Amino acid sequence: MTETYTALARKWRPKTFSELVGQDHVRQALVNALTSGRVHHAFLFTGTRGVGKTTIARILAKCLNCDRGVSATPCGECASCREIDAGRFVDLIEVDAASRTKVDDTREILDNVQFAPTRGRYKVYLIDEVHMLSTHSFNALLKTLEEPPPHVKFLLATTDPQKLPVTVLSRCLQFNLKRIPTAQIAAHLRAVLEREQIEFEPAGLALVAQAADGSMRDGLSLLDQLIAFGGGRAGESEARAMLGTVARDHVVQLAERLAAADAGELLRFARSIEQWAPDYTQLLDELASLLTRVALKQVVRDYEGDELYAHELLERLAGALGAEDVQLYYQTAILGRRDLPLAPDPRTGFEMTLLRMIAFRPQGGPAAAAAPLAGAAPGTAPSRAERAAAPSAPAAPAPAAPSGEWAALLAQLDLQGAARQLAHHCVLVGREGARVKLALDPRSRSLRTPSLEEKLAQALSRHFGATVRLEFVAVSERRETPAEANQRAAREQVDAARQSFESDPGVQGFRERFGAEVLPETVRPLK
């Protein structure tokens, strides 16, 4: 007789808290409650599918009914533990609320609450998808939750706690189960395959874990499917074929062509991918995912990469791409993904997203990006050297240094934080020996405190080499403080940058050809 195959999601379902992957915050709270003997009569487990709601509920039921006593570590060997694992423990009543929504169904279940358990220590009601109960059913349940018999525990699970009445929520201890991180899912899948002695590639497991989207159950189900698809192995190429993802090398080559900023070559390669019938939304997702890793490599030098993208590759791309480029490309990729349904067709939307990355890259500037559209032959674009030699939009002037004796003096003071802010919102009225007279902007009175005055006086004393006392006075004539001078200079700088940008030929070309619109608030002066 052929042995019946057990799905991995069922075979490797955790049977104790120690086997549970993730959800440490829930596990710790339940272990503490069981250890101290303070176990509430009603628990509510919320979270998306496959994160362990009913699994935790069954483990808790086993902890409460183990023949060796209530503890956080059930033996797993006694009759009660084995029956709960097999799903045939008479005092664990599992209810699928999605199929039993009527009040009569609920009354039928709850009518037996008052009777003592048949086999175990506690009668445990596990109600899955509890939010599906009708209003009348909730009312029937509420009466029992208000005055539960001491031998009854309620374990409620739901993916949509918003639909539960507040009266029910208030009578339960609520635990929100989190989506399981991709790295934890991948590590668990690896452990399962090692125990099953099945050949695998780490990159294939990373793809499955990513596709699981935070659900361990979905991850194990996809792994089962991959093993069948791959003829008994879990490889990367099989995972990509099964999940419909583009080869990793294609994503890397897109990033390399973005680094070269050659629009013609980038488009030619993008069109060559079409023969693989890619999902362009997923392709932009993967490109954004790679760019995220490149950004991490640029900021965190000891970031080593992962199974999908190795350290050496990220090191190379981090050197080839500017940090501003990476941020722009990432933002453009995720916005382009959102806009794909609005494009004439997915491929066109994908190509325009790539062109937008090149057109608005910080180093090239809008004039450089517009040049190939204005004069180049179709399908060609100037090289990076040609773009670097091309004239770019005139840069706005750097902000002027604060003027005036007081501002010049502040630049020389060893003064930080709030004390420096206080000084910048003052004007110098005069100095008479050890006294320095200041006028404070009335709108900044809250900055004046004894401790900050003392810090400013000490800084002035160190600067002059003699003890200085501050005197705050009122003045009849309003004067510009250094803070106001800085704000005015910044406004003038932004205005100059916007005027420069508006008059740039490249920007005007975009307006004429594509109906582009400049968002003034996004224009910033060059530093």
Q: Domain check: are 54 and 145 in the same one?
A: yes
Domain boundary among 202, 226, 243: 243
Element (H, E) at 166: helix 166-169
Using 50, 70 and 90 to split pLDDT, how confident is the model at 378?
Answer: very low
Amino acid at 321: L
Per residue, what are the HEC states of 492-516?
HHHHHHHHHHHHCHHHHHHHHHHCC
The answer to whether residues 450 and 344 belong to one domain is no
Name residue, tokens 């604060």: 402
What pLDDT was estimated at residue 242? 82
- List pLDDT tens digits, range 117-149: 888 899 999 988 888 888 878 887 888 888 888
Cβ-based neighbours of 88, under 8 Å, separated by 6 or more: none
Write out 411-461 in H/E/C secondary structure: CCCCCCHHHHHHHHCEEEEEEECCEEEEEECHHHHHHCCHHHHHHHHHHHH
> What is the overall mean pLDDT for the chain?
82
Domain match, 16 and 104 both: yes
Give the domain range for residue 461.
Answer: 401-516
Q: Which pLDDT belongs to residue 380?
A: 37
- Per-residue pLDDT, 313: 85
* Three-class DSSP category at 234: strand
Which of 222-236, 300-314, 408-422 shows the lowest mean pLDDT across its residues? 300-314
Kindly indicate the confidence band of residue 156, based on its pLDDT and cuts at 50, 70 and 90.
very high
Angle (CA) 237 241 246, round 5°: 85
Shared-domain flag, residues 446 and 330:
no
pLDDT band at 214 (very low <50, low <70, confident <90, very high): confident
Residue 3's pLDDT is 62
- What would the DSSP string read from start to end of 66-115? -TT-S-SS--S-SHHHHHHHHT--TTEEEEETTT--SHHHHHHHHTTTTS
Predicted local confidence at residue 333, as pLDDT? 92
- Given this model, what pLDDT does residue 362 score? 62
How large is the average pLDDT for residues 96-115? 70
- pLDDT value, residue 439: 92
Whether residue 30 is predicted with pLDDT greater than 90 in this model: the reply is yes
Lowest mean pLDDT among 174-178, 266-270, 306-310, 415-419: 306-310
Q: Decide if 370 is inside a domain.
A: no
In a domain, 71, yes or no: yes
At residue 2, the pLDDT reads 53
Nearest alpha carbon to residue 157 among 14, 8, 26:
26
Confidence of residue 64 (pLDDT cuts 50, 70, 90): very high
**So what's the pLDDT on residue 155?**
93
Q: What is the pLDDT of residue 359?
A: 83
Give the chain's radius of gyration (CA, Å): 33
pLDDT value, residue 311: 81
In a domain, residue 19? The reply is yes
What does the pLDDT read at residue 82?
92
Number of independent structural domains in the chain: 4
Please indicate, yes or no, whether residues 39 and 165 belong to a single structural domain of this protein: yes
pLDDT for residue 246: 66
Q: Tokens for 13?
A: 């379902």
Per-range mean pLDDT, top range of 88-92, 363-367, 464-468 = 88-92
pLDDT at residue 462 in the model: 85
Res 402 pLDDT > 70: no
439, 483: one domain: yes
Same domain, 359 and 271: yes
CA separation (Å) from 67 to 42, 61, 78, 115, 291?
A: 22, 12, 6, 20, 54
**Domain containing residue 269: CATH number:** 1.20.272.10
Task: Check pLDDT > 50 for residue 366.
Answer: no
Is the pLDDT at 340 greater than 50, yes or no?
yes
What single-letter DSSP state applies at residue 522? G
pLDDT at 393: 38
Separation CA 346–CA 283 (nearest Å): 11
Residue 109 and residue 210 in one domain: no
Residue 263 lies in a domain: yes
The answer on pLDDT for 381 being more than 90 is no
pLDDT given for residue 101 in this prediction: 56
Query: How much of the chain exceeds pLDDT 70, in percent?
Result: 88
Q: Alpha-carbon distance 59 to 85, whole Å?
A: 9
Whether 193 has a pLDDT exceeding 90, the answer reads: yes
pLDDT at 394: 38
Looking at the fold, whether 233 and 320 belong to one and the same domain comes out as: no
C-alpha to C-alpha distance for 140 and 127, rounded to whole angstroms:
14
The residue among 176, 198, 219 that closes a domain is 176
Instruction: Extract the tokens encoding 46.
Output: 């919320």
- Provide the pLDDT for residue 32: 93
Q: Are both 50 and 198 inside the same structural domain?
A: no
> Is 60 exceeded by the pLDDT of residue 387?
no
Provide CB contacts within 8 A for 91, sequence distance 6+: 65, 117, 118, 119, 120, 122, 123, 124
Q: Which of 199, 210, 192 is nearest to 234 (CA)?
A: 199
Q: What is the pLDDT of residues 489-515, one digit of tens each?
A: 888 888 888 888 888 887 887 777 777
- Is residue 383 included in any domain, yes or no? no
Residues 141 and 72 in one domain: yes
**Among 333, 363, 393, residue at a domain's last position:** 363
Give the CA distances from residue 268 to residues 52, 122, 254, 287, 354, in Å, rounded to whole numbers and listed in that order.
46, 68, 11, 17, 11
Regarding whether 101 and 193 lie in a shared domain, the answer is no
Q: Quick one: which of 58, 55, 51 has its CA closest to 82?
A: 58
CATH number for the domain that contains residue 222: 1.10.8.60
